[in-house]
């Protein structure tokens, strides 16, 4: 089997991830909820992000007249068959090995994905606008019209005192990667046919497409300095040399304005299991690096946002250079955990 066929075959098989992992997530953050609540949207069901989350969302929605999140919707009966059909079609296309079929499969996936996103938007719109007349609480906008509670299609949005976040999850990322591989198959097939390199512009575009959408849901998230708040101390994150982040196995990112806030939060960590620990590299402001491999310095010559004088460095050599002037106490990750009594 040619390499282009293998790309196409793998791209089709990656769609099966939709049956294992969620394809979307909607999360609600608010001061009255120390831990965000939300739901994962699978290809065939809604699922609590944490135990009883959907029940709690329905209770809140009841007061403003919103309908309950249903146990099922008609799309859940259709989408699985569409996905299975596209997987089967992709496998057939791979074995035929025709270049035009590769890009045709990609185009069909793009059309179906657009339809699915439009359907999702329509569901969100109806969910946020179709309110019961006998709602216990009614809010109006500045024009006196009834307020709507539609979550964003993608990204974040403030609804009353809730920050609603809507983002794709691993199932969707795998689907995007599968689509990107079909474009690679298209390019590779031309190379195999002509024994010449593909058009560099097309190759770069395909690489960017795959790179953008192949990230897994448990990857780090950018920190919006001056906007995002520390989940531990609630202060706005502004210091690019001392910020930190924890990413859980479910893909939720917890952002901190200081490394000491992250460590203090870990002392009594009761959130989903952590997968990544990230800290800002002092010598490269804004760059987050693996906290477990970083080197640390506690020095009163380098203030940190919450007064612990704790700073991280990606390279031990950089830490040692700064220590020559700033002096202080050197630590590695295990020693830092002991310093803060983190188990």
Residue 201, pLDDT above cutoff 50: no
Q: What does the block give as tokens for 82?
A: 């569409």
- pLDDT at residue 339 greater than cutoff 90: yes
Q: Is it the case that residue 160 has pLDDT exceeding 50?
A: yes
The pLDDT of residue 213? 43
pLDDT on residue 232 = 94
Q: Residue 259, exposed/middle/buried by CB under 10 A (0-12, 13-18, 19+)?
A: buried
- 0.85 surpassed by pTM: no
**89-144: per-residue pLDDT in tens?**
999 999 998 889 999 999 999 999 999 999 988 888 887 777 777 767 776 767 77
Top pLDDT among 253 and 211 is at 253
Helix 170-194 to helix 99-129 angle, to the nearest 10 degrees?
160
More confident residue, 311 or 205: 311
Taking residues 308-335, report their average pLDDT.
95
Least confident range from 37-46, 126-135, 313-322: namely 126-135
If one compares 311 and 190, the residue with the highest pLDDT of the two is 311
Residue ranges per domain, the chain?
Answer: 3-213, 244-339
User: How high is the pLDDT of residue 193?
Assistant: 67
pLDDT in tens, 224-239: 999 999 999 999 999 9
Give phi and psi for 58, each to the nearest 5.
-65, -35
- Asked whether the predicted pLDDT for residue 215 surpasses 60, the reply is no
Q: Give the separation between CA 61 and CA 149, rounded to whole angstroms.
A: 9
Q: Given this model, what pLDDT does residue 149 score?
A: 78
What is residue 267's predicted lDDT score, i.e. its pLDDT? Answer: 92
Residue with tokens 């520390």: 230
- Tell me, what DSSP letter sits at residue 119? H
For residue 202, the model assigns a pLDDT of 47
**Any idea which of 47-51, 154-158, 204-208, 228-232 has the lowest mean pLDDT?**
204-208
Q: What is the pLDDT of residue 204?
A: 45
User: Would you state the pLDDT for residue 209?
Assistant: 45
DSSP lists the bridge partners of residue 254 as: 246
- Is 206 a residue whose pLDDT tops 60? no
The b-or-e profile of 183-200 (16+ CB within 10 A means b, else e) is bbbbbbbbeeeeeeebee
> Which segments of 46-132 does DSSP mark as H helices, in order?
53-64, 75-96, 99-129
**pLDDT confidence bin for 1, thresholds 50/70/90:** confident
Q: Cα 190 to the chain's mean position, in Å?
A: 34
pLDDT for 77-89, tens place per residue?
A: 999 999 999 999 9
What's the average model confidence in pLDDT over 24-39? 86
């Amino acid at each position: 089997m040619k390499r282009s066929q293998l790309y196409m075959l793998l791209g089709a098989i990656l769609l099966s991830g939709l049956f294992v992992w969620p394809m979307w997530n909607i999360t609600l953050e608010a001061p009255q909820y120390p831990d965000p609540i939300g739901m994962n949207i699978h290809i065939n069901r809604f699922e609590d992000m944490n135990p009883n989350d959907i029940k709690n969302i329905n209770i809140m929605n009841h007061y403003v007249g919103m309908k309950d999140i249903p146990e099922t919707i008609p799309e859940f009966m259709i989408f699985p068959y569409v996905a299975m059909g596209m997987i089967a079609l992709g496998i057939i296309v791979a074995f035929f090995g025709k270049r035009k079929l590769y890009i045709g499969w990609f185009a069909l996936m793009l059309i179906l994905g657009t339809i699915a996103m439009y359907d999702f938007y329509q569901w969100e719109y109806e969910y946020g606008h179709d309110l019961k007349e006998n709602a216990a609480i009614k809010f109006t906008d500045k024009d006196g019209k009834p307020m709507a509670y539609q979550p964003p299609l993608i990204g974040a949005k403030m609804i009353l005192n809730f920050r609603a976040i809507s983002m794709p999850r691993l199932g969707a990322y795998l689907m995007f990667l599968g689509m990107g591989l079909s474009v690679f198959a298209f390019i590779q097939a031309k190379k195999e046919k002509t024994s010449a390199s593909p058009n560099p512009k097309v190759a770069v575009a395909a690489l960017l497409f795959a790179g953008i959408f192949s990230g897994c849901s448990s990857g780090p998230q950018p920190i919006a300095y001056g906007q995002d708040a520390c989940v531990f101390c609630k202060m706005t994150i502004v210091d690019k040399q001392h910020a930190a982040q924890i990413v859980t196995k479910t893909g939720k990112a917890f952002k901190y304005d200081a490394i000491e806030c992250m460590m203090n939060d870990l002392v009594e960590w009761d959130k989903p299991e952590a997968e990544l620990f990230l800290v800002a590299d002092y010598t490269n402001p804004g760059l987050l690096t693996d906290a477990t491999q970083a080197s640390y310095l506690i020095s009163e010559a380098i203030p940190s946002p919450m007064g612990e004088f704790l700073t991280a460095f990606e390279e031990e050599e950089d830490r040692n250079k700064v220590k020559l002037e700033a002096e202080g106490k050197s630590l590695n990750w295990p020693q830092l955990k002991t310093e803060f009594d983190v188990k």
